[in-house]
Structure 1
Amino acid sequence: MRRADRLFEIVQILRRTSGPLTADAIAAELETSRRSVYRDIAALVAQRVPIRGEAGIGYVLERGFDMPPLMLTSDEVEAVVLGAQWVLVHADEGLARAAADVLAKVAAIVPERLRDQIEDPAVITPPRWSERLDAGVDVARLRAWSLQGRKLHIRYADQAGRETERTVWPFLVGYMDRVRMLIAWCELRDDFRMFRTDRLSAIDYREERYPERRATLRRRWLAMINQQRDPEAT
């Protein structure tokens, strides 16, 4: 790997990592030596890339750093294409349009040698074989209410067809192959619940904001899911 490419990759690795990363971990991913990583990071710092390092802890890229013009590898282009294909098939109309726009933007800026991977890709997502059962649900609006941290009052039918009314705090919309899920804190159950959108018979979009931060709810829910998967993890 050329040094210029390695410098770019180090910035990419630090950007996608939430916590400090050691030189050994960076060296292992790049298949290079720790000494080379030390030299490369020193070169990046000299170029005013805001990398902060702490002995024995690792390196962190400060927030707000602007990358140079978009540079993508062949694998990264295929990842974008495959992800966009999945969104086009499984997401709501708003996200599907956004996915098509992303592909058009990427095709306009990547080098000519990579353009064929967008226009004639070697990856594919299977088509959706059946119609959506939640055609009457405005999933884009559910996403908006989740982002804004606003309450919903819903009427929901369980697997046996029993209906309940409840007020919920939505914070995520999950897209599966066959169904879409609204993930929320339920005031009725005083706990997290997942609601299939095809079982929502009525939705009242309320302007009232719920008291908890959306990011906090998301972290708590993910921690609960991880605990259920691995009870010995904590």
Structure 2
Amino acid sequence: MRKAERLFQLLNILRSRRTVITGQELADLLEVSPRTIYRDMQALSLSKIPIESEAGVGYRIKPGFNLPPIMFQEDELEALLLGVKMVQGWSDQQLGDAASRAFDKIKAILPDSLHSRHDKQANWLVVPKFKQINDVDINEKLKKAIKTNQQVTIGYKSLDNRQTERGIWPLGLVYWGKVWTLVAWCLLRQDYRVFRLDKITRLTSTEHTFETSNCLSLQHYIALQEAQHCEK
């Protein structure tokens, strides 16, 4: 870990605590020696960070200290705006609203000149709304199942309108361009399967859970697809 990254982590640890923390505890958290922590604390103090310390007790930041807000360059704001518009246009309403709120918080700390320029130029970047996730109930259940490794049963209408029912282990959501899909491990086929979200007609949660591994995960599936693409 580079020194700048370590100093940033140290600062975040100290800001998050209401009580002192010993140098040994900090060393254990960052996996460095106590001597390194001592030198880092000196560096922070020289940078005008009000570090309070007491031998044998520990360190803390003086109460009431706040870091100045992070500033963004114009191209960084454009990158963030593109991400917000992609979430708004391609995901569900809940995530779209959350992205808007997050970007509003960023804009709130901008200096007046940059804030004004961004507002005037924000409309030049357009992301068409291709295919949003519309079934809120299924989407919420699906996201919860993915996060908690919960087995589910889905009703699915294939492209030729055949209705099937599958028990699956949901691994992750992938947007391929105009279509959201669910990557899952199919218990019937004992293999990966990809289901279009707009073709899932119902979803029922079960009490069963599953474990991912290096050979059974969203990352493993993506790696297999990339390998197959390279072979072509």
**Shift of residue 174, structure 1, vs aligned partner:** 2.1
Structure 2-normalised TM-score? 0.63
Structure 2 gaps, min length 5: 6-39, 45-66
Alignment CA distance shift 1:161-1:46 (3 Å): farther
CA RMSD of aligned residues (A): 3.5
Contact residue 151 and residue 209 of structure 1 kept, 8 A: yes
Alignment CA distance shift 1:135-1:151 (3 Å): same
Within 5 A, what are the aligned runs for 1:123-162?
Answer: 123-128=124-129, 134-135=134-135, 138-162=138-162
Matched residues in 2 for 1:204 and 1:69: separation? 45
Q: Which residue of 1 is the match for residue 217 of structure 2?
A: 217
Contact residue 78 and residue 123 of structure 1 kept, 8 A: no
Contact residue 170 and residue 185 of structure 1 kept, 8 A: yes
Matched residues in 2 for 1:194 and 1:102: separation? 31
**Shift of residue 192, structure 1, vs aligned partner:** 1.3
Matched residues in 2 for 1:220 and 1:170: separation? 14
Contact residue 137 and residue 197 of structure 1 kept, 8 A: no
Q: Which residue of 2 is the match for residue 82 of structure 1?
A: 82
Q: Which residue of 2 is the match for residue 186 of structure 1?
A: 186
SS at match of 1:71: coil
Q: Which residue of 1 is the match for residue 203 of structure 2?
A: 203
Which consecutive aligned stretches of 4+ in structure 1 deviate over 3 angstroms post-superposition? 44-48, 131-137, 213-216
Higher Cα radius of gyration: 2
SS at match of 1:207: strand
Matched residues in 2 for 1:215 and 1:79: separation? 34
Q: What residue identity is the alignment partner of 1:208?
A: H
Structure 1-normalised TM-score? 0.63
Q: Which residue of 2 is the match for residue 170 of structure 1?
A: 170
Residue-by-residue CA offset, 1:43-98 (whole Å, 9 max, x unaligned)? x99947xxxxxxxxxxxxxxxxxx98433221111011111012112211110111
**Shift of residue 138, structure 1, vs aligned partner:** 2.8
**Shift of residue 195, structure 1, vs aligned partner:** 0.6
Alignment CA distance shift 1:45-1:173 (3 Å): farther
Once the two structures are aligned, what percentage of the paired residues are identical?
26
Aligned length: 176
Q: Which residue of 1 is the match for residue 104 of structure 2?
A: 104
**Shift of residue 186, structure 1, vs aligned partner:** 1.2
Select between 166-175 and 135-144 the one with higher mean Cα deviation: 135-144
**Shift of residue 103, structure 1, vs aligned partner:** 1.1
**Shift of residue 199, structure 1, vs aligned partner:** 0.9
Contact residue 138 and residue 202 of structure 2 kept, 8 A: no
